[in-house]
A = this chain, B = another copy of it.
Amino acid sequence: MLNTIIKILRNCFPAPEVHAHCDGPCGVYDPASARITAEAVLSMTKKIIDLEVPATGDKAAHIAYQNLLSRYISIKEEQAQKTKDDLLILWTDYFKPIHIEQYPDLHDIFWKAAKLCSACKVEVSLKNAQELMDSVQNIHQIFWSTKNRDISWYKASS
C-alpha cells in the first residue's frame, strides 16, 4: 500500500538526489548480468543431477563422468559467485538512501539473495537455484521500477 503511494509520488516528482549521489562509473547498471549467471547456476544444477553414475569397473566411463561432474560443480561455483558479485554491485553502488525509503526491505532482499548464492555453491539443490532465479527476477522488477522503465523479463535458456 505505502509502497504503491511512494511509487506514485516518485513518478510525479523527479528525484535529483539520486543523480546527485551518482558515483564514478555509474550509468550502466543492468540486472541482466546477474540473471544470465543465475540461469547458468540453475542449468549446472540440473546437469549435475541428470548425470548418470557409470557402472563400477568401466574406467573410461568413470573418468568421463568425473571430468563432467567436476567441471559442472566448478562452473556452478563460479557462476554463483558472479551472480553474488553482480547483485552486490547493484546494492552497494546503484541503490541510494532514497531507494531504501521506497523499498524498506531492500537490505534484507539483497542479504537473502547473496546467501542464496552461497547456498547454491554449498548444496546441489534445484530448490535453491530456482529461488535464486525468483530473487533475481524480483530485483529486476525493483531496479527497473526505480528507473521508471518497463523492461521485460526473459530467460536466455528458455
Residues of A that sit less than 8 Å from B by CB: 23-25, 27-30, 32-33, 36, 39-40, 43-44, 48-49, 53, 56, 59, 62-64, 66-75, 77, 84, 88, 91-93, 107-108, 111, 114-115, 117-119, 121-124, 151-152, 154, 156-157
Contact = CB atoms under 8 A, between A and B. Distances in A.
A119 B26 CA distance: 12
User: Lowest 5 A-B CB distances belong to which pairs?
Assistant: A107-B107, A30-B156, A92-B114, A24-B122, A32-B32
B68 A70 contact: no
A154 B147 CA distance: 14
A119 B21 CA distance: 10
Contact of A69 (B43, B66, B107, B115): B66
A58 B122 CA distance: 19
Given A27-B43, A70-B70, A71-B73, 15 more contacts: A23-B118, A24-B68, A24-B75, A48-B67, A56-B56, A63-B124, A67-B73, A67-B122, A67-B123, A71-B122, A84-B92, A91-B114, A92-B117, A93-B115, A152-B152
